[in-house]
Amino acid sequence: MTDLHKACTEYLAVRRALGFKLSGYDRLLGDFVGYLGRCDAPTITTRAALSWATGPQGVTLHYWASRLGAVRGFARHLQGADPAVEVPPANLLASGPCRRTAYQFSPQDLERLVGAAGRLTPALRGATYQAFFGLLICSGARVGEVTKLDRADVDLARGVVEINDAKFRKHRRLPLHHTAVVALERYSRLRDELCPRAKVPAFFVSARGTRLLYVVVNQVFRELVGGLGLEDQPGAGHPRVHDLRHHFIMATLADFHREGADPQGKLPLLSAYVGHSDPAWTYHYFQPSPELLALAAVRLEQFERERR
């Protein structure tokens, strides 16, 4: 089992060097290798992997499938050097689609959200979250990307935000609308006035002058939407902060239709802006809405008239 522990460490190091975060995999695969040792299994077998993956009780099928998926990646890595290693089939614990429908915000919902954030106390906390959520809404950036922004990453003179060390260690540059630049300039001045000696170089700081934490951002978002009384939606449930990213992508797609642009031709630009390596990933964010369907219908009618 010592060799498997070593192989596990090497596998995780290689995958992370390629940009995969694999959060929690050290514990999962370490537990699995320990399980093989207790079973006196010389290597990975489908039977052993399935038995370990389905060990926890009172959990969902998706949770079992995710455990087995972690083992499958490790097994594929080992099989290249050891043909005796069995790779569990991908559909052995098919859990079905687990992507949740995104919450569909109205413009009024977002306006109320930003306004409620600005009323948080103390004043620096309110200003920070008002600007923070505003940037999420108008850029479609990930929460983790915005919390990592330093002051040097935000060039308000050029109206550009630099996203560094994003998912898969990618870098991208986000041009901002002039209204977003004005809002960030206002926040920047207030931040420096209320917190002249911040403890970190972060652009967005807490009331204590520290960098925002992902878990706290989520907590604040839930409290704000709870106070606004936004009702659950079928298939989506309650709003999540990640749904702001979905909203940006769908709103941009609707803008393409309004402008008469070719959405298919513009998709690679949108994908690059939101940090997707392949437009196929952006398709995951597409979902029908009354507004988008109406715009598409108008475009279709116009196309039919021009063709006739």
Catalytic residue annotation: 142, 167, 242, 245, 276, 285
Which sign, positive or negative, has the C-alpha torsion 236, 237, 242, 247? positive
Distances (CA, A) of 108 to 80, 141, 198, 228, 270: 55, 21, 34, 11, 24
Q: CA-to-CA distance for 46 and 68, rounded, in angstroms?
A: 10
Which helix (DSSP H) or strand (DSSP E) does residue 163 occupy? strand 160-163
Contact 131, 204 (CB under 8 A): yes
* φ, ψ for residue 174, nearest 5 deg: -110, 110
Tokens 């979902």, residue located: 287
Q: At what angle do helices 243-258 and 290-307 cross, to 10 degrees?
A: 20
Helices (H), 54-174: 61-79, 107-118, 123-139, 143-147
* φ, ψ for residue 180, nearest 5 deg: -70, -40
Sequence-ordered list of residues with C-beta below 8 angstroms from that of 239, at least 6 positions apart, any chain: 103, 105, 221, 225, 230
* Cα angle: 24, vertex 277, 92; to 5 degrees: 50
Contact 175, 286 (CB under 8 A): no
